[in-house]
Structure 1
């Protein structure tokens, strides 16, 4: 799902648009492989039984429920999460059925920091910490290319 351009005001330009890092999809892909493998194994075990057709239907139904809940839904949630930096603000939009969003005008940002572990550095992701004029800091986890996003955001904030 592309970022909706109707959320931008007139003459506002997108500087960077990111989804969360692909590492968030490792768990859902693992679940998909495990469910397909287990269902195939169990289907092969019962193939000679008189009730095999019913067992296969049950395995298919259980497999679809598990894959839908633990693979399809996380992938859709990942795809509908947007981290956007424009020439005027930082926007975050997330959610599938219920959408949540937050905007921070660039003029209110006082500092931008990056935090990432060794594993995140190897994968090229990290946490972007944006501090605004208010007392609280906002953390954006699993930002891909966090160093580049940090540099671009700093370039937009610093005159």
Structure 2
């Protein structure tokens, strides 16, 4: 027995009851789905920003160095003499926005993949120039 039925006065009757339309529930479900997408978006955002904020990539006069992580530190180092090739990969968006992927291949190790590097052609040229200066 509902509250309204229990609160009826003597001789009082319910003439009609109203119910929520299914669309009311559908909007709540859509809001929940949207929230899930937003939470996934926040997760992806923070993972990518953490990687960006804790990664250093440089070429020195002697070597290439990539450091990632803050709590768990990981480094890739490769002597300039051991760099066999640097490949730049740019898709349509990369060409339009000025970014690309670098793949640095070295002697006796797996290639080092660097995603979404700003001006990758310039960085590849810097590696090649450092290699030339190192050779003398």
Give the secondary structure class of the aligned counterpart of 1:87: coil
Deviations along 1:67-115, whole A, 9 cap, x unmatched? 9755455423311111111111111111132111111011111222211
For structure 2, the residue ranges without an aligned partner over 5 or more in a row are 1-34
List aligned pairs for 1:72-111, cutoff 5 A. Answer: 72=46, 74-111=48-85
State the 1:138 CA deviation. 2.2
- TM-score w.r.t. the length of structure 1 is 0.52
Aligned-residue RMSD, C-alpha: 2.3
- TM-score w.r.t. the length of structure 2 is 0.60
Which has the greater radius of gyration? 2
For structure 1, the residue ranges without an aligned partner over 5 or more in a row are 1-61
List aligned pairs for 1:56-67, cutoff 5 A. Answer: none
Conserved? CA contact 1:77–1:96, under 8 Å: no
Residue of structure 2 aligned with 1:125, choices 95, 99, 102: 99
- The structure with higher relative contact order (CA 8 Å, sep 6+) is 1
